[in-house]
Amino acid sequence: MSAWLRSLRSRRDVLRTGLGSAAALVGSVALGQSATHPAGHTPATPTPPVKGGAHAGHGNNLMVGKVDHARNGFDPMEVLTDWDTGQVSRLPSGQVLREYTMTALEKDIEIAPGVFFPAWTYNGRVPGPTLRCTEGDRLRITFNNHTSHPHTIHFHGVHPAEMDGVPGAGPGEIPPGGRFVYEFDAEPFGCHLYHCHATSLKRHIHKGMYGAFIVDPKGGRPPAREFVMVQNAFDTNFDGGNEVYAVNTVGFEFARRPIPIKKGELVRIYLVNILEFDLINSFHLHANFFNYYDTGTTLEPTLRIVDTIMQAQGQRGILEFTYKYPGNFMFHPHISEFTELGWMGSFQVVEPVNYAAALREAGVDAGWDRRATGGSTAGGRRA
Ligand SMILES: [Cu+2]
């Protein structure tokens, strides 16, 4: 059977049965290709799709069961706000120095209940840490390769050639056991991306070696509740097409656990598309419109009052919106197939007085709330 036919068949299986039962199909394939799999893991058993759950929608094809975030070592809900601002000091010149450590690790991660993916990661998570800084900061990123394959870190932004993290420039690919220190000044401000650029590029990206790289403008942006969403997907049967789609890795996670926000507050989303194999992804917000800042390199919106944007591979942008009414509002790509294969979630918009209860319902604490509203490295809000 051709790769194209195999791809079509596996994706149809997922569509026909819902992700819950497809987990068993694709999960067993993924496990078969996995070098190691977690002790005590029990493969998912086929289960019928959920009928009319509290947050069901778009055909009630939400997943059955839960992903073990503790075993993964990261939680997509926490990834929304867990900015890594580095170890901060000052150079003799007075310039802010931010030091980060990034370690390449091979790790099986659960991307839907019972579906394990043998990932290549930065710091054991997918996406890797959200690196955050202010324009003009000196960044020093120590990269350790603790895997059996060569890797790099390629940052989008402006920097010398030898810091570009590509084969043939500077140290090129960092070999297994190797180490390199990338160092450059952060510019321009915007919503950027980093990823491994070792060959074959598509393999290193779809295996999970990427993350968001946010450079704040020196004057900051207006106060808002901020989240980072990395649109990603996984080729669980290695046929050159994706079977599970998500933001921040776990399919349907934000459908099962809607993201709490307050009615009337400004929400800002740093949106990154790191899809491999599919040319574009998109973001559609229900019952609302937003302003969009393409690449985030301007302080004025580049699109106003839109409810859907699209991003090609590697594109990023910033969305800003405010909800007028309380309630549960979906977000998803307007590519319906991606929605049905996991990339769908919702915001739980509540009156401010009900916010503490909404945080508890989402399984997050006051620290998550604080990080969401105090994330900027600019303007002295966080040094
Ligand atoms: Cu790599």
pLDDT tens digits, one per residue of 273-313: 999 999 999 999 999 999 999 999 999 999 999 999 999 99
Q: How far is the CA of 196 from the centre of ligand 1 (A)?
A: 5
Separation between Cα atoms, residue 44 and residue 124, nearest integer Å: 23
Closest CA to 204 of 276, 124, 156: 276
DSSP type of residue 162: G
In this prediction the pTM is 0.86
Lowest mean pLDDT across 43-47, 159-163, 213-217, 256-260: 43-47
Residue 231 has pLDDT above 80, yes or no: yes
Confidence of residue 24 (pLDDT cuts 50, 70, 90): very low
Q: How far is the CA of 210 from the centre of ligand 1 (A)?
A: 9
Confidence of residue 378 (pLDDT cuts 50, 70, 90): confident
Q: How far is the CA of 362 from the centre of ligand 1 (A)?
A: 33
DSSP type of residue 258: P
Going by DSSP bridges, is the β-strand pair 290-294/303-306 parallel, antiparallel, or unpaired?
A: antiparallel
Q: How far is the CA of 177 from the centre of ligand 1 (A)?
A: 13
Q: How far is the CA of 151 from the centre of ligand 1 (A)?
A: 4
CB of 19 closer than 8 Å to CB of 65: no
Separation between Cα atoms, residue 196 and residue 128, nearest integer Å: 11
